[in-house]
Amino acid sequence: MRDLRIVGGTVLLAADRLQSADLVLKDGLIDRIGGGSGGSYLDASGLLVLPGIVDLHGDAFERQLQPRPGVDFPADLALRDTESQLLANGITTAFHGVTLSWEPGLRSLSAWRAMLDALAARPWTCDMRVHLRWEAYNLDALDIAVADIAAGRVHLLAFNDHTPSILAKLRDPVEGAKYSGRAGMKLAAFQAMADRIASHADAVPAGLDRIAAAARAAGLPMASHDDDSIAARDGFRARGARICEFPMAEAVGRAAVEAGDFVAMGCPNVVRGGSHLGWASAARLAEAGVCTVLTSDYFYPAMLRAAFVLAERGVLDLPRAWALISSNPAAAAGLADRGAIEAGRRGDLVVVDPETSRAVTTIVGGRVAFLTTEGSKRLFEAA
């Protein structure tokens, strides 16, 4: 692998400061800060050089798998387009939030297997990983999920329980049709299936205990999703989940942070100025130190933009805002080799135009992975 120098840029260094510096990338890593000559180089003058974005929870890929209800495309094709979106938005590590549910169709066992097989079938430029969104009532697939965790095919486990809300929404034919359409079923048949699944509620806690034990044995980070009470968060922490995803009440998030947990919320919430569900403002909670990790949630371009939106609000400076999408999620996932710019870390970087807050170049493992027209004019190859 050729060395690559990045020269003349304003670099966000590990000490959380922006300063002019040159970088030398070698063998996929940040070899040193400062110095270097010869070889290929990227002229980053007037640009920001920032750590690559780490996305712990993104499920926008589902729109590539199923762009319309019941209209499915192969997982490998969907992932190729998804990877292009990730790299164009400076995301160098992506945990795909793959839901393994009792629902047929998009979130079914067959879709789960197709995604894992497609990810394993070829090398990818972006470091794409699996965030298993385990639906608590999906007891029929528990053996398979545990086996996939043991086999190393899962990189983060999240506890989800959407079954009660699905049952409630099925009372409304319009809302219910969204779920039955996603599953490729008639509403009446989907309702009957949901009722059958709900009848096994007594077995759910033991299922959660079992999959949590498998994740602990594999050393996986764990998260709980949509915690609605402090008691619920305490229960999942006891199982080993130290990431609180999208807490439904501010008090839950505050209690999680006080207990030493990471609290993750969505970048679309920041960019849009509020939650589409009417929940707490992620920007305000980030400024208050309650939200410590931001994710793409359902829209990849929101991550890079959210950091600049927060900086523009004036409470957090750009280094602290950027930590929410780089060093903090890396720490939450146990990835000590990325998330900051310092010698010995992975050469995962995004070079950003501060005027437009757009990625000019994305570098993964020391290699240029995405380049705009402007970026191509700044890249000089070695003779």
Q: Domains, the chain, ranges and CATH?
A: 4-51+342-380 (2.30.40.10), 54-332 (3.20.20.140)
Give the chain's residues under pLDDT 50.
none
Instruction: Kindly list the distances between the CA atom of residue 70 and the CA atoms of 63, 163, 273, in Å, as whole numbers in the listed order.
Output: 11, 20, 32
H, E, C per residue of 80-108: HHHHHHHHHCCEEEEEEEEEECCCCHHHC
Q: What is the pLDDT of residue 39?
A: 84
Tell me the C-alpha to C-alpha distance, in Å, between residue 117 and each of 13, 74, 76, 95, 104.
37, 11, 9, 16, 18
Q: How far is CA 100 from CA 93, 103, 125, in A?
A: 21, 8, 25
pLDDT of residue 275: 76
Using alpha carbons, list the distances in angstroms from residue 46 to 185, 362, 378.
Answer: 54, 16, 11
pLDDT value at residue 195: 93
**Confidence (pLDDT) at 382:** 76
